[in-house]
Each structure stands twice: as structure tokens, then as C-alpha cells.
Amino acid sequence: MARYFIIYKPFGVLSQFSGEGQTLASLFSFPKDVYPVGRLDKDSEGLLLITNDKFLNNQLLNPRFGHQRTYLTQVEGIPTDEAIKNLAKGVQIKVDGKPYQTKFAIAKLRKDHPNLPDRNPPIRYRKNVPDSWVELTLIEGKNRQVRKMTAAVGFPTLRLVRWSIEKLTIEGFQSGEVRELDEKMIYHQLGLTGFRKTRR
């Protein structure tokens, strides 16, 4: 039976069930046959999907299927219009030590502070350096891509939260919260409803 868990992965937690340091196993007693779809770095937070559905895993991770992933990133400084435009059209970063041009994205400077749980520990406050929030929607997921992108345009990331995958979001979640959803809801929110009858 397929099981689907959505979690708000806290800062400092590894996207795995074993290893040194705090892991996903410390958040909830998950079934033994489930695993994370993709990962978030230890110093990143937000939406993580955990399941034993291999078809869904392939749909979300195979580069052929470009699912939108939206990140909220708190950056040092206030990005210029040019910086936001460059994030959207693509910037050059390093992937596996080689230059890589990121694909087109949706980028915008938020005027408000997103409604997110406080981070523990909080980011280091710098009185003389303002910070701001950028909303960035990608259709790819290279290693530490968002951090590399904001650094490339001159505004280093201070805090990074994955907010959504397609329409599946962590809205209303507390940090560390785990919710189990049914297959119909998961496939609908991910825009995969048409695949459900043919996937097995």
C-alpha cells in the first residue's frame, strides 16, 4: 500500500533516516519502506515528501518532468530589479565543478515577510545590513542551486525554505510537523491525476 507523508523539515535535520546528527527518524515513526523524494540540505528547511511510491519518485526526480518547486529565500541585502531579472532568465553557477547555466525561473522580490515558523536557531542579525525575501520558482534541482543563484547575483542566502512542489505546500505547517495525505490528494496537488490509472 502506498503511503504519503508531507513534512516541514526543520533547520539542522538531515534528509535521511539514519546517520550522525538529527535525522527524519527523530520527527516521526515512519513505516520502514518509505523514503524521501529528493532531499533538502541540512541547513535548508521546508517541504519534504516521504513515500514508498516509486512511480511518483520517478515523476518528481526525473529531469524530463519539470515540476515547479517554489523556494522562499531570505537574502542579505535588497536585490535590485536587475538581480531579480537575472535570476529569472538564468545565471551561471558551478555544478560538480563545471559551469552551468540555470534554466528560466520565476523570481520576485517579496514586499512582505512570509508567514513561516521561526527558525531555530535564528539567522545572525546584522544591524547595518538589511535583508529581504525572494520567491524563486524553479523547474530543476541542482545541488544547492538556490544558494548558488542568489550568491551569483550578489545577494547571499541567509535562510532557505522550500515552500511548494506544484500546488502541494507547507502552508499552515509548524516546523517539524508531519501529515499523512492520501494518494488522490497527493496526485491532484502535484498535477499527476491523469497518470494514476496507468502507473502500475
Q: What are the residue numbers of the active site?
A: 41
Q: Taking Cα atoms as reference points, which of 129, 134, 127, 138 lies closest to residue 151?
A: 134
Q: How far is CA 86 from the centre of its chain?
A: 20
Helix (H) or strand (E) holding 161: strand 157-165
Distance of CA 149 to the CA centre of its chain: 14
Q: Would you state the cell numbers that stand for residue 185, as one nine-digit string?
A: 490528494
User: Which candidate, 106, 8, 66, 107, places its Cα nearest to that of 190?
Assistant: 66
Extract the C-alpha cell encoding 170.
507547507
Q: Check residue 79 and report its DSSP letter.
A: -
From the CA atom positions of the chain, what is the Rg in Å?
17
Q: Which residues contact 127 (CB under 8 A, 6 or more apart)?
A: none
C-alpha cell at 187: 496526485
Rounded CA separation 17/35 (Å): 8
